[in-house]
């Protein structure tokens, strides 16, 4: 199989997905493929259904119609912890960290799905349990190095600036050793320098881990620069899908979201 064929292999198939909250149609007949080895952006106005789509993928919401297939397995009725154990990790639009713990402890908490020894053996901390702890710590330290977090590794997360907490959130998702990474507005609330760093980290993760990344982001300069494909949502419907240059010139997208230059 050629490299171009491998790149087009589908990691997740989303078919005819619909989600309602009472009378509000949050998602309406959405069909999207997430390919292996790509950064896919999901863009659209506030309330377009972007976060709802991620919440369906990782089991926070259960759609009333449609399927989400990952390696042939239907995710639509699985609980979030089961989906996480399959290798799908995410960050959150509103940061969901343990604010009273250090950055290091937050990252170690993400390794629990890979731990084989129970709480009792963990309290004893010797032999196999100690070796397992050391192995997990080594993986966490690799992520700390990758995201340049050495200076904050022992700091309490609640005391960190917002941009640093966003970085911890992404690092925690990576510590799950995911096969797919979902990023929900990872640059929201950051200054220009922090956004540039985060864009660089996303590219570094993509190049190093070779996993598909789904990115919700409002910064169109970042989206156009780092993403291979873009899906545009508007009022819960898929408005357009294509490569960045196709989306940039799509009249429907310009009217609904991008606006005239």
Which two structure tokens, joined as six digits, stand for 121?
């053996």
Residue 34: Cβ-neighbour burial (10 angstroms; 0-12, 13-18, 19+): buried
* The dihedral sign for the CA sequence 67, 73, 77, 80: negative
Which two structure tokens, joined as six digits, stand for 257?
């979201």
How many helices and strands (H and E) does the chain possess? 11, 10
Helix (H, G, I), strand (E, B) or coil at 189: coil
Calculate the average pLDDT of the chain: 87
- 185-198 burial, b at 16+ Cβ within 10 Å, e below that, comes to bbbbebeeebbebb
Write out pLDDT tens, residues 64-78. Answer: 999 999 988 999 999
Q: What is the pLDDT of residue 26?
A: 95
Global pTM? Answer: 0.86
1-87+179-261: CATH topology: Rossmann fold (3.40.50)
Domain ranges of the chain: 1-87+179-261, 99-177
Q: What is the pLDDT of residue 258?
A: 63
Write out pLDDT tens, residues 9-59. Answer: 899 999 999 999 988 999 999 999 999 989 999 999 888 999 999 999 999
Nearest of 71, 89, 70 to residue 181 by alpha carbon: 89
Q: Where are the alpha helices (DSSP H) in the chain?
A: 3-7, 50-57, 80-85, 103-109, 119-124, 128-146, 162-174, 192-209, 220-226, 244-248, 251-253
**Total residues found in the chain within this entry:** 261
Q: What is the pLDDT of residue 125?
A: 52
Write out pLDDT tens, residues 135-165. Answer: 778 888 999 999 999 999 899 999 999 889 9
């Amino acid at each position: 199989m050629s490299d171009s064929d491998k790149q087009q292999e589908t990691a997740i198939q989303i078919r005819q997905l619909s989600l309602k909250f009472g009378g509000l149609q949050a998602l309406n007949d959405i069909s999207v493929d997430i390919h292996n080895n790509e950064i896919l952006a999901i863009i659209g106005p506030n309330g377009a259904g972007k976060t709802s789509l991620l919440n369906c993928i990782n089991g926070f919401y259960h759609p009333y119609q449609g399927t989400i297939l990952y390696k042939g397995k239907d995710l639509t009725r699985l609980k979030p912890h089961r989906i996480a154990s399959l290798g799908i990790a995410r960050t959150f639009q509103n940061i969901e960290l343990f604010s009273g713990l250090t950055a290091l402890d937050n990252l170690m908490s993400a390794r629990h799905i890979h731990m084989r020894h129970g709480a009792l053996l963990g309290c004893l901390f010797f032999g196999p349990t100690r070796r397992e702890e050391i192995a997990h710590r080594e993986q966490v330290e690799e992520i700390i190095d990758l995201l340049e977090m050495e200076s904050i590794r022992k700091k309490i997360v609640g005391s960190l600036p917002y941009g640093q907490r966003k970085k911890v959130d992404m690092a925690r998702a990576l510590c799950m050793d995911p096969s797919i990474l979902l990023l929900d507005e990872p640059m929201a609330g950051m200054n220009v320098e922090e956004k540039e760093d985060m864009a660089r980290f996303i590219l570094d993760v993509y190049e190093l881990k070779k996993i598909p990344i789904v990115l919700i982001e409002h910064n169109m300069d970042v989206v156009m620069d780092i993403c291979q494909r873009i899906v545009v949502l508007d009022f819960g419907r898929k408005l357009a899908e294509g490569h960045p240059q196709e989306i940039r010139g799509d009249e429907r997208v310009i009217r609904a979201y991008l606006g005239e230059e």
